[in-house]
Structure 1
């Protein structure tokens, strides 16, 4: 079954160019020329990835990203002519998984789509001698990560995460007490084929803290190791 890619862009030329290259790469393409249609397609279901332009005629792409993230964890790649870092960072903060700036190479676009699709629902492996591997869940303090169902809970409260937030949390929690550099986290969680920079890690850590922590400004679970990167708090038994 071909993955279904929703392309949200009001430029007919871009739509045709993207569709031609994605179909050639084996994807099924659904087109939306405005934000309203895009949200209707998402609500209808069966979308595997969204290519989202920021400059839409009826709404801002950031607003669409925010609306999608309220109820869905579909990977979102921002497709935009805006090259400013602030736009890239804001998109990531709102839940986008990646971004690509126009004009772009179609092979790069296909590579990025394949990369985010590979990361969906694929938690990092646990160490071979870990009891957590046998039980297929990670439990630290009142936080439980179900590796089979891809669910995260604090106590009885379920926490909704995007695919990459889930992957990042799973990796850190599977190695409690170990400090990882941003570069190492990019390699382990995003993969060598990721095209972004290490600020992407900071954005996702901030989003995880906002969802997990009682007070994101004084985090308990994910700790900053100054001069190194981040680690998950080790539970002393």
Structure 2
């Protein structure tokens, strides 16, 4: 079981009071390795030194954009990136996910919700890890769907034999579909099962991640044949491409 005290968290916000408040709350919740930064430059230096597991990231920084920083962070590991920002329009949320964010909370926020989402993420990783056993067949945990394959144990997506970079939360959502092909899942069900936060998300979170999966596995993401929308019900992954 993962110890919360072992998780490294970087809190990047230009308001020192928010950094201090989150550090105080998260420390009470059992987290120990808490690092703060208030500028783009400080954050980049921090991430290079610490290589955090989780990044709480503001979009509006005094010397740069948190959106640009989000993409840069992927060069130093694969942290779980949770945006904390006052920019709350649908376009802002979509841009956050498009730049590589895994989740999004708008200000003002309850710091206990931040803690809950971090813990939900950790539980999800533990659950995935507990399902893997070295005694399985060599190909167990590899899900093949025509032009693409997902290797659960190695956390790898390959398309037509070539590795394709895939952010953590996008990979987890795709993996969930691979485990239950042909089953229709609503947005609420997907958010509950993959994000593990009992429906506290919104429709745009799932929609953006669906689009990011399609951009990787579909020949024409605008006309999907594998990850289908079932009108009024949700989404399903099929084994064979379907004509639509």
Offset, 1:151: 1.2
Asked if 1:175 is matched to 2:180, the reply is yes
1:39–1:120 distance in 2 versus 1, CA, 3 Å: farther
Task: Kindly provide the CA deviation profile for residues 190-222 of structure 1, in whole angstroms up to 9, marking residues without a partner as x.
Answer: 224452112211100101111222221122321
Q: Secondary structure at the match of 1:180?
A: coil
Q: For residue 155 of structure 1, what is the aligned residue in structure 2? A: 160
**d(CA) in 1 for partners of 2:171 and 2:151?**
10
Q: In the TM superposition, what are the counterparts of 1:48-87 in structure 2 within 5 Å?
A: 48-69=53-74, 72-87=77-92
1:154–1:122 distance in 2 versus 1, CA, 3 Å: farther
Q: For residue 216 of structure 1, what is the aligned residue in structure 2? A: 221
Task: Kindly provide the CA deviation profile for residues 63-106 of structure 1, in whole angstroms up to 9, marking residues without a partner as x.
Answer: 11122246643111111123323222221222212222222222
135-144 or 54-63, which deviates more: 135-144
Gaps of 5+ in 1: none
Asked if 1:138 is matched to 2:143, the reply is yes
Gaps of 5+ in 2: none
Asked if 1:23 is matched to 2:27, the reply is yes
Does the Cα contact within 8 Å between 1:119 and 1:164 map onto a contact in 2?
Answer: no
Picking from 5, 18, 23, the partner of 1:14 is: 18
Offset, 1:5: 0.6
Offset, 1:26: 2.0
1:36–1:16 distance in 2 versus 1, CA, 3 Å: same
RMSD of aligned C-alpha atoms?
Answer: 2.6
TM-score scaled by structure 2?
0.84
1:221–1:133 distance in 2 versus 1, CA, 3 Å: farther
Does the Cα contact within 8 Å between 2:159 and 2:216 map onto a contact in 1?
Answer: no
1:47–1:214 distance in 2 versus 1, CA, 3 Å: same
1:81–1:205 distance in 2 versus 1, CA, 3 Å: same
TM-score scaled by structure 1?
0.86
Q: Secondary structure at the match of 1:135?
A: coil
Does the Cα contact within 8 Å between 2:70 and 2:100 map onto a contact in 1?
Answer: yes
Q: For residue 37 of structure 2, what is the aligned residue in structure 1? A: 32
